[in-house]
Chains A and B, each alone.
Chain A
Amino acid sequence: GAGVSQSPSNKVTEKGKDVELRCDPISGHTALYWYRQSLGQGLEFLIYFQGNSAPDKSGLPSDRFSAERTGGSVSTLTIQRTQQEDSAVYLCASSLSSLRNEKLFFGSGTQLSVL
C-alpha cells in the first residue's frame, strides 16, 4: 500500500477482554516497530521486528502483551486481559531496514480505550 495501515483506528473494550491490533507496513519494508503513546507521554518502544523475527521484545510492559509478524509483512499486537492502564494510542512504524538513519514511516495509530 501507499503507507502504513493500522486497524482498527479506534477500539473500545471492557476490562479483562483480549484485543488484537493490526499493522500493515509498507511493502518491502523489513523493519517494523510498535510504540505506545500515552497522554502526556512520549513514544514508548514496545517491540521491534526484522523480518518475522523479534530480536527485541524488551519494551513489552507485561506478559499480557505479545506480537507476531507473518510473511515479513502484517503484524498483530495482542493484549490479553486488558487493564485500564493499557488505554493509549498504539503506533506502528516501518522502515526499509534497521540501519541507522532509516526514515520511519508511521501509521495513524489505534486509539485503545479500556473501560
Chain B
Amino acid sequence: GDSVTQMEGPVTLSEEAFLTINCTYTATGYPSLFWYVQYPGEGLQLLLKATKADDKGSNKGFEATYRKETTSFHLEKGSVQVSDSAVYFCALSEIGTYKYIFGTGTRLKVLA
C-alpha cells in the first residue's frame, strides 16, 4: 500500500541555519504531495503542495520539489527562524481517492 517515510526528529538548529527534512513515498499511481505544519497548541495546516512531477511547492520561505525519479519530496528552507519551531508532516493523496497518508512527523526546534 501507499506510504510516506520521514526522517526522524527532533531536528535542532540555530537561527538562520539551513533546513532539510527528508520525505520519501511509495505510491501505486500519481499522488499529490503535501507538507503540513503543526505549531504548538494548534491544528495541522497546509504549508505547501505539489501535484505532478518536477512541480515545486513554496510558502513562507519553505520549498519542496516533487521528484518522481527518487520518489522524494524533501522540505527545505534557507534560513530558519525561531518561529518555525513546529512539527512537520509529509503526506500524499492518490488521484481518485479521498485518503491522505501522513508520515510520522518531524519535530523542528530552532534556537535563538
- Once A and B bind, how many residue pairs between them come within 8 Å at the CB atom? 58
**B38: nearest residue on chain A (CB-CB)?**
A106
B22 at the interface (CB under 8 A from A): no
Partner of B43, one of A31, A55, A91: A91
Q: Contacts A42-B105, A43-B102, A48-B98 given: A104-B49 contact, CB under 8 Å?
A: no
A71 at the interface (CB under 8 A from B): no
Interface readout for B85-112 with A: 1 if CB under 8 Å, 0 if not?
Answer: 0000100011111111111110000000
Chain B residues positioned under 8 Å from A31 (CB to CB): 98
> Quick check: B51 and A101 within 8 Å, CB to CB?
yes
Q: Contacts A43-B89, A107-B43, A109-B43 given: A100-B102 contact, CB under 8 Å?
A: no
Interface size for chain A: under 10, 10 to 19, 20 to 34, or 35 or more residues? Answer: 20 to 34
Please report the C-alpha to C-alpha distance between residue A42 and residue B94 in the assembled complex, in whole angstroms. Answer: 18
B61 at the interface (CB under 8 A from A): no
Please report the C-alpha to C-alpha distance between residue A101 and residue B32 in the assembled complex, in whole angstroms. Answer: 6
B45 at the interface (CB under 8 A from A): yes
B contact residues vs A (CB 8 Å cutoff) = 4, 32, 36, 41-46, 49, 51, 89, 93-105
18 residue pairs of the A-B complex, CB under 8 angstroms, read A40-B104, A42-B89, A42-B102, A42-B105, A43-B102, A48-B99, A50-B98, A55-B98, A56-B98, A91-B43, A98-B98, A100-B96, A100-B97, A101-B32, A103-B46, A104-B44, A105-B45, A106-B44
